Amino acid sequence: MGQLLGFTSVSRWTALGWIIALLVILPIAAVIWLAFNPTENIWPHLISSVLPVYVESTLLLLSGVGLISLAIGVSTAWLVTLCNFPGRRLFEWALLLPFAIPAYVIAYIYTDLLEYAGPIQSSLRELFGWRTARDYSFPEIRSLGGAILMLSLVLYPYVYLLARSSFLEQSVNIRDASRTLGCNPWQSFYRISLPIARPAIAVGLALVAMETLNDFGTVDFFAVKSLSAGIYDAWLNMSNLGAAAQIATLMMLFVVLLMWLERTSRARAKQFSGADRFKRIERFTLSRGQSLGAFIVCFMPVFFGFIVPLFELASMTLNHLDQFTNSRFLAQASNSFLLSAGAALLTALLALLLAYSQRLKPQLSGLRIAAKLAHLGYALPGAVLAIGVIIPFALFDNALDSWMRANFDISTGLILSGTPFAILFAYSVRFLAVSSGSIESSLAKVTPSMDMASRSLGANPLETLKRVHLPLIRTGLLTALLVVFVDSMKELPATLILRPFNFDTLATAVYQFASDEKIEAAAPGSLLIVLVGIIPVILLSRTITATRDAA
Amino acid sequence: MFQVNTKRFSSVVTISTVAALSAAPQASLAEEVNIYSYRQEFLLRPLLDAFTAKTDIDVNVVYASKSLLERIENEGRNTPADILLTSDIAPLFDAKERNLLARIDSAEISANVPAQYRDEDGTWVGLTARSRIIYTSKERVADGEISRYEDLTDPKWAERICTRSGKHSYNLSLIGSLIEHVGEAEAEAWLAGVKANLARKPQGNDRAQVKAIKEGQCDVALGNSYYFGAMLTNEKEPEQQEWADSVKLIFPNQADRGAHMNISGAGITANAPNPKAALALIEFLTSEEAQRIYAEVNYEFPVRPGVARSALINEYMGEFKADDINLTRVAANRGAAAKMVDRVGFDN
């Protein structure tokens, strides 16, 4: 068939890659297009008043969340993968659990605990006989520092996941060699494991950075004036969507700059995993003191990022058990589950096809750039992305409708707008970066000589993908599915805006209460988001481990 | 080969998800009306159910906190939305400016709702009114110590005032009304004066400010009137009753222009597919029955004169003088108010 049409099979892949990249870029392009149509030039006002504040708090937020996520994610990933200490097997998956907690939920919970009226400060006042806030000082949770901590607690799992699968996929032989040559655990980590894992860690960090940039719920609740606050202000309060799109476009440019910096600093370093990846990992045995240290390092993020919020949610839920008997609750849970599963599969498929089509023609830099641009959807605040989806969908629907009316006197109305498909598409655009991150970094570790061998034995690109690559990148693929599933469960702003009539997910149902700061009434729904989210976390984490242990 | 396969796979994924998701909420063939709502659905449900029981018209709702105007605008003539429902004057004003609303022609509505709470061109109708009032600590603020918004700048309130973000639409609307009454320069001086007296960085919602008074973090706060009722009757979270118990309600500026008012309201979209049903619903929402539900469930003031206010409102709020400034002029000042908040650094 391909021969008949005069296409080689590789160029069909290239065409497919382009189609996917362009589709995903569509909403991003729509936002950039909006940026050219502001109602008023907002920059003189911004520069003379709040822009310095926006930029400063955004940069502080980014670097704070980035550093803390990096420290927690990499250290714990290395410990559970390469060291032996009590609880290691448990932590392997438990360290992922905070990921299931939406950032806005953890922010509410810690505010409830730590604010002036909360149980901790109240007990302290009682204990020491303080009367008012002026009698003592206590760190304010609703602050930039608080926002950094909250976001770090739920975002470090990105770094952990990617660092861990990279440590798992690394050649055991290299590490063995380092130990034969006398490296202690720390030296082996610092001089061997870390440099090899760097591309994967960078991907994890990029995801953390973009998620931090697009966050609005947490920063708004903590009254932190970041750039996304500026976007909403220009759009909603100054009725200047164009100006909002300009700020959003600037944010995307900033992300492009970061990506480019990371890339050039890594230069051309490329590693491929050897054939020994099914060899068993020899773990470092830690002394008693070291074991205790490792335990504490792994326990803290799980405790503060998962156990405390889960406990709080569960105890608040006790007051609102009647919600579970509400028949809408089941429908909300099933909507959430189906959308998230669909988004996970669709996004992984798109990411895989996109990555593989680039691999087949590595010299094609146009496609590579387009594929990178397709990741930018993740840096956009959800509500802005939703507008980016509304515009092309409505354009398509209305054009089709007009054409059908003109030619057949039939009105097709809105076919795509306001359907679950629009939400699914938005999720795919939003989370393609997440999916691609882990699939690309896995695929990059498969040595090209495998492709050559397979192709010279007569397999076409698709067969090669199915029989050679898929088994080798299983870990990366599973990671991609897992992360997008959980992220979609939590997604709120785009879902809220794009959904059909009478359609709720758990997140939108929770938001109805949470937006009114009825945190208690929001607890049962939040709890269910977390519980539905942790099932795949545990299952997939076990499978990821099994890819190594199976040998 | 690959084309068939990947296509089939991805279409199976998407079709099965979409099919499974679309199956549930498919509306029946009965008459219906569709709402895009900026108000949370659970606040509306009792009213919508009463409407459906009465008329057999089904009501479908999409609730979102932003972007609904953009959705209507882009969906154009094919929009499924019949009604835009809001908790603030601002989106109605914007929707009118962008020609998204049709004229509402109803003698019934004109009779039910005073002109002050209707658009002069008939594109939107207020459904409930709320006042932005001053909450003061029963313990720490004496009677008569504060009676006007202007008093908030008095240095004696230094480090004693709490409020939510200056960028919240309720505050922007208050500032917008001040701009209208006293002019931009004086309004800005007022805002800077309030800023100077804040006990903490603006944060939280209106209830959180009352809570802060209860906890002794501040003595005076700005807040919408109906939250008081909602807190005082909150049985699920009884601590909120204590918050409400700790404050007095001051309706400001009673000796001059009156307390600042805002509305929740509705308009019919220009391309509404079910304009008749939409009109029927809005007429119902201004009816005696619906207005009473509003007052009793949510402690808002009925816009319709003569509807009995809830006993709670009568007990705690009584009659007061409302500012009767044209709400359109207040909403038009919102952009200027937002920039003023930036210049003063109110939220920083």
Q: Round to whole Å and give the CA distance between A167 and A436.
A: 19
What are the pLDDT digits (tens) for A276-300?
Answer: 555 667 788 888 888 899 999 999 9
B123 is a domain residue = yes
A531 and A402 inside one domain:
yes
Q: How many CA atoms lie within 13 A of B320 on its CB side?
A: 28
> A191 phi and psi, to 5 degrees?
-100, -20
B138 and B195 inside one domain:
yes
Residues of chain B with Cβ-Cβ distance to A12 below 8 Å are 2-3
The secondary structure of chain B, three-state, reads: CHHHHHHHHHHHHHHHHHHHHHHCCCCCCCCEEEEEECCCHHHHHHHHHHHHHHHCCEEEEEECCCCHHHHHHHHHHHCCCCEEEECCHHHHHHHHHCCCECCCCCHHHHHHCCHHHECCCCCEEEEEEEEEEEEEECCCCCCCCCCCHHHHHCHHHCCCEECCCCCCHHHHHHHHHHHHHHCHHHHHHHHHHHHHHECCCCCCCHHHHHHHHHCCCCCEEEEECHHHHHHHCCCCCCHHHHHHHCEEEECCCCCCCCECEEEEEEEEECCCCCHHHHHHHHHHHCCHHHHHHHHHHHCCEECCCCCCCCHHHHHHCCCCCECCCCHHHHHHCHHHHHHHHHHHCCCC
A431 and A504 inside one domain:
yes
Chain A closest-CA separation from residue B64 CA (Å): 5
B248 is a domain residue = yes
In total, how many domains does chain A have?
2
Q: Return the percentage of chain A with pLDDT > 90, whole number.
A: 23
pLDDT of res. A392: 92
Q: Does the structure's ipTM exceed the value 0.85?
A: no
A196 and A300 inside one domain:
yes
A372 and A497 inside one domain:
yes
Closest partner residue to A237 among B62, B214, B335, by Cβ? B335
- CB spacing of B212 vs A116 below 8 angstroms: yes
A26 is a domain residue = no
A421 and A302 inside one domain:
no
A208 and A307 inside one domain:
yes
The radius of gyration of chain B's CA atoms, rounded to the nearest angstrom, is 22
Closest partner residue to B339 among A45, A232, A520, by Cβ? A45
Q: Round to whole Å and give the CA distance between A123 and A110.
A: 16
- CB spacing of A133 vs B24 below 8 angstroms: no
Q: Which residues pair with B129 in a beta bridge?
A: B263, B301
Q: Round to whole Å and give the CA distance between B290 and B45.
A: 11
3-class SS at A9?
helix
Q: Which of A266, A283, A312 is the last residue of a domain?
A: A312
pLDDT of res. A28: 92
B119 and B159 inside one domain:
no
Instruction: Please state whether beta strands B161-162 and B220-224 pair in parallel, antiparallel, or not at all (unpaired).
Output: parallel
Distance between first and last Cα of chain B? 60
B326 is a domain residue = yes
Pick the range with the lowest mean pLDDT from A44-53, A245-254, A349-358. Answer: A44-53
Q: Is A328 exposed, middle or buried (0-12, 13-18, 19+ CB in 10 A)?
A: exposed
- CB spacing of B40 vs A235 below 8 angstroms: no
B149 and B47 inside one domain:
no
A274 pLDDT above the threshold of 70: no
Residues of chain A with Cβ-Cβ distance to B30 below 8 Å are none
Closest partner residue to B13 among A238, A319, A346, by Cβ? A346
pLDDT of res. A4: 42
What are the pLDDT digits (tens) for A18-35?
Answer: 899 899 999 999 999 988
B315 is a domain residue = no
Residues of chain B with Cβ-Cβ distance to A320 below 8 Å are 236
pLDDT of res. A319: 77
Low-confidence ranges of chain B (pLDDT < 70): 1-29
In total, how many domains does chain B have?
2
B210 and B266 inside one domain:
no
pLDDT of res. B29: 57
The range of the structural domain enclosing residue A515 comes to 325-551
B214 and B288 inside one domain:
no
Chain A closest-CA separation from residue B310 CA (Å): 22
pLDDT of res. A266: 64
What are the pLDDT digits (tens) for A389-424?
Answer: 999 999 898 899 989 889 998 888 888 898 999 999
A31 is a domain residue = no
pLDDT of res. B27: 44
Instruction: Please state whether beta strands B58-63 and A284-285 pair in parallel, antiparallel, or not at all (unpaired).
Output: unpaired
Query: Where is pLDDT greater, at A262 or B227?
Result: B227
Q: Round to whole Å and give the CA distance between A220 and A217.
A: 5
pLDDT band at A60 (very low <50, low <70, confident <90, very high): very high
Closest partner residue to A383 among B21, B66, B337, by Cβ? B66
A5 pLDDT above the threshold of 50: no
Check: CB of residue B149 under 8 Å from CB of residue B194: no
Q: Which of A288, A312, A336 is the last residue of a domain?
A: A312
Residues of chain B with Cβ-Cβ distance to A488 below 8 Å are none
Q: How does DSSP classify residue B322?
A: B
Q: Which of A312, A336, A358 is the last residue of a domain?
A: A312
Check: CB of residue A492 under 8 Å from CB of residue A102: yes
pLDDT of res. B4: 38
Chain A closest-CA separation from residue B315 CA (Å): 25
pLDDT of res. A1: 41
A363 and A218 inside one domain:
no
Residues of chain B with Cβ-Cβ distance to A345 below 8 Å are 13
The mean pLDDT of chain A is 84
B178 and B325 inside one domain:
yes
Q: Round to whole Å and give the CA distance between A430 and A433.
A: 7
B10 is a domain residue = no
CATH code, domain with B250: 3.40.190.10
Closest partner residue to B2 among A395, A462, A511, by Cβ? A462
A288 and A397 inside one domain:
no
3-class SS at A382?
helix
B194 and B330 inside one domain:
yes
Q: How many helices (H) and strands (E) does chain B have?
A: 15, 9
A18 is a domain residue = no
A225 is a domain residue = yes
Q: Which residue of A has its CA nearest to B24?
A: A331
B236 and B267 inside one domain:
no
A149 and A238 inside one domain:
yes
- Mutate which of B21, B60, B71, B169 to disrupt the A interface (most A C-beta within 10 Å)? B21
- CB spacing of A49 vs B342 below 8 angstroms: yes
A547 and A457 inside one domain:
yes
3-class SS at A517?
coil
pLDDT of res. A2: 40
Q: Is A287 exposed, middle or buried (0-12, 13-18, 19+ CB in 10 A)?
A: exposed
* Distance (Å) of CA A429 to CA A20, A300, A344, A408: 10, 34, 12, 34
Tokens at residue A308, please? 């405390």
B136 and B245 inside one domain:
yes
B142 is a domain residue = yes
B161 and B273 inside one domain:
no
Residue reference for tokens 């070291």: A290
B206 and B330 inside one domain:
yes
Q: How many residues does chain B have?
A: 348
pLDDT band at A520 (very low <50, low <70, confident <90, very high): confident
The range of the structural domain enclosing residue B286 comes to 30-129+262-307
What are the pLDDT digits (tens) for A111-166?
Answer: 888 887 788 888 888 888 887 777 787 888 888 999 999 999 999 998 998 888 78
B125 and B148 inside one domain:
no
| Cβ-based neighbour number of residue A404 at 10 Å | 14
pLDDT of res. A190: 78
Residue reference for tokens 């956009």: A380
pLDDT of res. A549: 54
A433 and A484 inside one domain:
yes
A20 is a domain residue = no
A115 and A55 inside one domain:
yes
Instruction: Please state whether beta strands B124-137 and B220-224 pair in parallel, antiparallel, or not at all (unpaired).
Output: antiparallel
Check: CB of residue A226 under 8 Å from CB of residue A61: yes
What are the pLDDT digits (tens) for A233-250?
Answer: 888 888 888 998 999 998
Q: Is A87 exposed, middle or buried (0-12, 13-18, 19+ CB in 10 A)?
A: middle
- The identity of residue B69, as a single letter, is L
Residues of chain B with Cβ-Cβ distance to A497 below 8 Å are 64, 66-68, 71
> B230 phi and psi, to 5 degrees?
-65, -35
A124 is a domain residue = yes
* CA quadruple A460, A464, A466, A472: dihedral, nearest 10: -170
B182 is a domain residue = yes
